[in-house]
Amino acid sequence: MSLLAPPPYPQLPSAVDTYVAIDLSPDGEPARSLFAEVDDEARNKAIQLTDHVGPLPSNLTPAMARWYAAHVAGPRSAALDQVAAVLGENDAEAGTRGTFLEREISRAEDLRLAGKRQVVKAHREKNEADYERLAEARIRWQKARNAYDELHARHGREARLPSWWYIPSLLVIGAAEMLVNYESFAAVKFFTPAIATGATIVVAAALAFSSHLYGTFLRQVESRFGPHRRDGDRAAAARMFGLGTFCLSVVLGSVWYARTSYLADELIEIAVIGGAAPSWISIVGGSMIMNMVVWIVGVILAFFAHDEDHMYPVALNDRNKAEKALRALQNRINQPIQRQFESVDAQADRNIGQLRTKEQSLASSPRHAEGRKLFARIKEQDARVLSVIDAYRGKLRSRARENPIVFRKQAELPSQPAGTLDADQYAAEPIVMKYG
């Protein structure tokens, strides 16, 4: 080979040099320019993230997207084009044109998603009424979710629903009440066994219901009378207290009547046949005390079984119901187009499989090896880009502790609801660099 002859392959393409030379250290100018945006962006209560399809990585905030476009997109795109030129040249030995696998896969995945979106668009044009109902269901779900998220942010915990044991416990309370009072009602002379049994059941149910109302009322006094109360909360609390008091009064009045009737009959019988008169305290007072003990146990169970904020479990149930209705409608709409989705997926998977097979066949090519080495340098710089982005997300997460931010994630398909993330969830959301 002549000393003046050019080398067979460029040792380091200038475009790759330019990209990897960008200073992406935390103290570098590009990183500092991004970090300077965090205070302004953190003032937003809601931040829309970038789409899954397009030249930008998905799940970037607007500040990240501007920074990426200004400092990374141009040099990186040129570097990727240079690698594509190396990998895509004709291979004389293999008798075929090379391929830049990652770029082709990235494009294939974008085409997969674009194809599904086109299927949904065509289906929507034919079934506009169903999609209008879906949009309404999504709005209801979003409102229910926002209401729950607001309460979650206030309390810093999940809503507490009554445990599975609560209803059985109330039934046990009622059963205990029946055991305490049946003898009293059965002793009333003009009560038949059926009437005595019915009266015992009614009184037991009233006492269990009263303990439920009182325990719930005491647990939720702060939410119904405190600064976060809503219109009508006080009136609802007054109704609970009044109804609980009425039921308790009916129970105690009925028991008092039954026991005093029993005591009167006993006194008449003793007056006729003689003997020691029974104590009013043991006959009437003892029964009343036993009923109050059972009632207090029920109040304690109800107190610990319910959430302190009466609207929190309601918001949770509303959110779950709205989500269930939304998913049911989504499934009904998606079912007819699922076969078309499967066709799109099959075509994309087939194309990707062919690309992988072709790439493997070129693995021994010197030109292919040279291109892979250049691409490895780009991936190293990509890791530094992601490191800067993750550092920015960490700063944004810290700001969000003082002023909560909702991050709105783009839905992959129009028929799906857009996801929402809090700062912690967004910090863990993957950001993948594209090669298209």
* CA atoms of 162 and 156, how far apart (whole Å): 19
Q: Give the pTM.
A: 0.58
Q: What is the DSSP string of 181-242?
A: HHHHHHTSTT--HHHHHHHHHHHHHHHHHHHHHHHHHHHTHHHHHSTT--TTHHHHHHHHHH
Output the average pLDDT for the chain.
Answer: 85
List pLDDT tens digits, range 53-76: 888 898 999 999 999 999 999 999
Q: Is 95 left (phi over 0), alpha (psi -120 to 50) or beta?
A: left
pLDDT over threshold 90, residue 180:
no
Q: Is the pLDDT of residue 187 over 70?
A: yes
What string of DSSP letters covers 67-116? Answer: HHIIIIIHHHHHHHHHHHHHHTSEETTTTEE---HHHHHHHHHHHHHHHH
69: its two tokens: 């476009």
- Reported as a pLDDT band with limits 50, 70 and 90, residue 12 is very low
Specify the residue for token string 């899954």: 52
Rounded to whole angstroms, the Cα distance separating 148 from 312 reads 7
Dump the DSSP string for 179-195.
HHHHHHHHTSTT--HHH
Q: Are strands 46-48 and 406-409 parallel, antiparallel or unpaired?
A: parallel
Per-residue pLDDT band for 156 (boundaries 50, 70, 90) equals: confident
What is the residue extent of each domain of the chain?
13-84+378-436, 166-306
- What's the pLDDT at 95? 55
Displacement of CA 96 from its chain's centroid (Å): 50
pLDDT digits (tens, 9 = 90+) for 317-376: 999 999 999 889 888 888 888 888 889 999 999 999 998 888 888 777 788 888 889 999
In angstroms, the CA 31 to CA 38 distance is 11
Strands 46-48 and 90-91: unpaired
Least confident of 94-98, 196-200, 266-270, 411-415: 94-98
- 135 is written with which tokens? 């949009």
Of 1-10, 110-119, 215-224, 389-398, where does mean pLDDT reach its minimum? 1-10
